[in-house]
Copies of this chain bind each other. A is one copy, B any other.
Amino acid sequence: MKRTYNFNAGPSALPEEVLQIAQKELLDFNQTGMSVMELSHRSKDFENVHNEAQRLLKQLLAIPDNYEILFLQGGASLQFPMIPMNFLSEDQVGNYVLTGVWSEKALKEAKILGLPTAIAASTKETNYDRIPNLSELAVSPDDGYLHITSNNTIYGTQWKEYPKVKDNLLIADMSSDILSKPLPIENFAMIYAGAQKNLGPSGVTVVILRKDLLEKTLNKQIPTMLRYDTHAKNNSLYNTPPTFSIYMLNKVLQWVSERGGVTGISKENELKASLIYDAIDESNGFYKGHALNNSRSLMNITFNLASEELSKKFLSEAKEAGFVGLNGHRSVGGCRASTYNAVPYEACKALQQFMLKFKQENSTSM
């Protein structure tokens, strides 16, 4: 069976090998005579899946022992209010770097809670076409944390180096680039990510949290499900977790391990993205990238054609040629190719070839 060239922004492509294993054991997991979906979340069989996923993530990202690894629900969007709720107080400011719609949403939730906030920097003026330089960031000793969005799915920008802040109180929404490259975990107090881009299917959110942060929540009145210490104390089993999503996450982590871990995956990602960036850069302006060169994302490649009409023609012919998910987000328009870990090199090569061919056929119409 031919697999579709899937460039969806998320939920997105999963490794074919992972899907094949999941298919094979869907009715009989580990000789239990049951689907993994039918296992009790308190059974030994499921516990092994859960703990192996934690262990693999810890190993792949070299996460030190003083961090908790949690598997939660609600997506990154539920983390937006949980972060200020758990970690801010009257005299500690939530400081946000705005690099797109998702950073704005994170900030908005802190404001709804009536907690003190600040904006360390913003590139909104130029429609979020770049990541601020580290020197542009306005930080303060009163910051409870500095919050960043490590990769901006909509605009196609990505942080290349991370700010080093006081007490390493850096919090990052890494939903769209976690596990795509090695990370200096020690720089971060917390990293969180919805799984549906690089980690697995939707329905589970990974949180990597430095343990000392849990103290900030101690004397707060917060709903039990919205406290990080609830989930830390209960190994993310306070209530029924999304078991199948965690099972798939575990399979994806195994797959990354077998491909040489994040170092191996990161090289593949560079090669894949450069195929498409080259097609843009060598097109003499036929394709125009949205992100400035030094902020370009290796996960989401955003570009426009000369006119809206031509973009539409491109998207329509690409669709016919079997490419899925190339429509840009409505706030940027044009085209976007998401080249997450599980998108094969061949799919990127095919897209490059399609872009070259389309340019050849349509250059005179400019």
Verify B201–A37 contact, CB threshold 8 A. Answer: yes
* Closest Cβ neighbor of A41 among chain B residues: B11
Verify B223–A8 contact, CB threshold 8 A. Answer: no
Verify B41–A239 contact, CB threshold 8 A. Answer: no
Contacts of A366 on B, CB cut-off 8 Å?
A: none
Assess whether A292 is interfacial by the CB under 8 Å rule.
no
Shortest A359–chain B CB gap in Å is 26
* This chain's copy number in the assembly: 2
Q: Beyond A80-B225, A243-B201, is A34–B20 a contact (Cβ under 8 Å)? A: no
Assess whether A74 is interfacial by the CB under 8 Å rule.
yes
Chain A, 4-15, contact with B by CB distance < 8 Å: what is the 0/1 string? 101011111110
**Pick from B2, B32, B201, B224: contact of A77, CB under 8 Å:** B224
* Closest Cβ neighbor of A75 among chain B residues: B239
Assess whether A238 is interfacial by the CB under 8 Å rule.
yes
The size of the chain A interface, using a CB distance under 8 A, is 68
Chain A, 286-304, contact with B by CB distance < 8 Å: what is the 0/1 string? 0000000000000000000
Shortest A42–chain B CB gap in Å is 9
Verify B27–A20 contact, CB threshold 8 A. Answer: yes
Bound-state CA distance A42–B243 (Å) is 24
Bound-state CA distance A110–B108 (Å) is 25
Bound-state CA distance A325–B33 (Å) is 13
Shortest A15–chain B CB gap in Å is 10
**Pick from B22, B76, B223, B240: contact of A112, CB under 8 Å:** B223
Q: Beyond A202-B244, A223-B112, is A12–B38 a contact (Cβ under 8 Å)? A: yes
Verify A242–B240 contact, CB threshold 8 A. Answer: no
* Closest Cβ neighbor of A322 among chain B residues: B33
Bound-state CA distance A75–B226 (Å) is 12
Assess whether A245 is interfacial by the CB under 8 Å rule.
yes
Verify B27–A39 contact, CB threshold 8 A. Answer: no
Assess whether A100 is interfacial by the CB under 8 Å rule.
no
**Pick from B10, B39, B196, B245: contact of A203, CB under 8 Å:** B245
Verify A16–B11 contact, CB threshold 8 A. Answer: no
Contacts of A185 on B, CB cut-off 8 Å?
A: none
Bound-state CA distance A80–B20 (Å) is 38
Contacts of A243 on B, CB cut-off 8 Å?
A: 11, 201-203
Q: Beyond A202-B244, A239-B77, A243-B203, is A38–B225 a contact (Cβ under 8 Å)? A: no
Interface centre among A73, A78, A224, A325 (most CB of B within 10 A): A73
Bound-state CA distance A226–B112 (Å) is 12
Chain A, 98-137, contact with B by CB distance < 8 Å: what is the 0/1 string? 0000000100110011100000000000000000000000
**Pick from B1, B34, B37, B202: contact of A248, CB under 8 Å:** B37
Q: List 24 A-B contacts (CB under 8 A).
A: A4-B33, A9-B40, A10-B40, A11-B40, A12-B40, A13-B34, A14-B35, A16-B27, A23-B26, A33-B322, A41-B202, A73-B74, A80-B223, A80-B224, A81-B225, A85-B223, A105-B224, A113-B221, A113-B223, A201-B244, A202-B241, A203-B204, A203-B244, A242-B245
